Structure 1
């Protein structure tokens, strides 16, 4: 069907604008953490919010109030989990995981590479993207919880490695 009538278009327009405004308001209210660089947990919440917005916009049997409640529920649950993860290590590990050391002191950590399903070439690419031309100038490469690579130069006392898993 190409056109259901002006009523459905008007509903989509009105509900779309109101749902968008409500979502922006709730996201701003929830704080910067909701919009931060995403790890797997944040990605799930973001996809769920997008799916909910699409459902509210296009499903005539879903009221705007139900959609706003769903937005608030998802954002509220994310707030509770992130609040708890700041206070409890086991919640943090369940929600976001732990960073993983992939390269240390001139050696690739094979078990960690297998566990993370990362190749040595991907680690080398991360080193190059940090402007380092030689692996000899790298102290460590860490796979962060958001999927990014941190490249650390040698030296220092290694205090930034606290909480990093090494299989």
Structure 2
């Protein structure tokens, strides 16, 4: 039992490191090659966990080989556009100038139900509101609405909005984040002064956000009864 637990922890750390090495797209926007590698790694890692009689190195070598292969393939896709097109394909326009491209939908084996489901995920509920819809290489759909259905921007209304900078979480569950403070160009002294003026101690803060203009929001921790 102890050996199985140790092997599981080691493999967990190795797989986590492998995912980090292959990049954040592994988590949310996987391309074809990344999906294949992720599935293979998960299968390879499960074998040494279950078969304690098999040397652990036998499971680690294929995982390392797959990670190296994925890194090489990713580098080649950056350097060679044709190679990227071969591996990932190309974006496909399924609605062009308001017209459904039925041939392209057949190529994707996309049904009308699939099309409308993805449009609804983009908060589009009528096909007449769509100017262009593009299926990206990761399978997600990008939608450009017709001009009359687009929300007006501040620029279109000739309204100049002040740039307040990035809003970040500077305190999370009573802990100050120096990294977040640097992003919003604030300091610990600034935070401590705010808390002192508000009459709040650090341990009572559940959440505090701030931006470069000095705007902030404080959410107190719920008091347990």
Band of TM-score, shorter chain: 0.7 to 0.9
* 8 A Cα contact 2:122 2:143, kept in partner: yes
**Alpha carbons of 1:129 and 1:29: their partners in 2 closer, same or farther (altered >3 Å)?**
closer
1:27 offset after TM fit, Å?
2.9
- Provide the C-alpha distance between the structure 1 equivalents of 2:35 and 2:71, rounded to a whole number of angstroms: 14
Structure with the larger strand share: 2
Matched, 1:128 2:120: yes
SS in structure 1 opposite 2:95? strand
1:109 offset after TM fit, Å?
0.7
TM-score, normalisation: structure 1: 0.78
1:16 offset after TM fit, Å?
0.8
* 8 A Cα contact 1:23 1:68, kept in partner: no
User: Of 70, 77, 101, which aligns to 1:85?
Assistant: 77
CA deviations on 1:1-44 (whole Å, 9 max, x unpaired) are xxxxxxxx232111111111122233334433444411322111
Structure with the larger helix share: 1
Runs of at least 4 residues off by over 4 Å: none
TM-score, normalisation: structure 2: 0.60
Structure with bigger gyration radius: 2
Matched, 1:56 2:48: yes
Identify which of structures 1 and 2 has the higher relative contact order when contacts are C-alpha pairs closer than 8 Å and 6+ apart. 1
The number of residue pairs the alignment matches comes to 147
For structure 1, the 5+ residue unaligned runs are: 1-8, 156-167
For structure 2, the 5+ residue unaligned runs are: 148-225
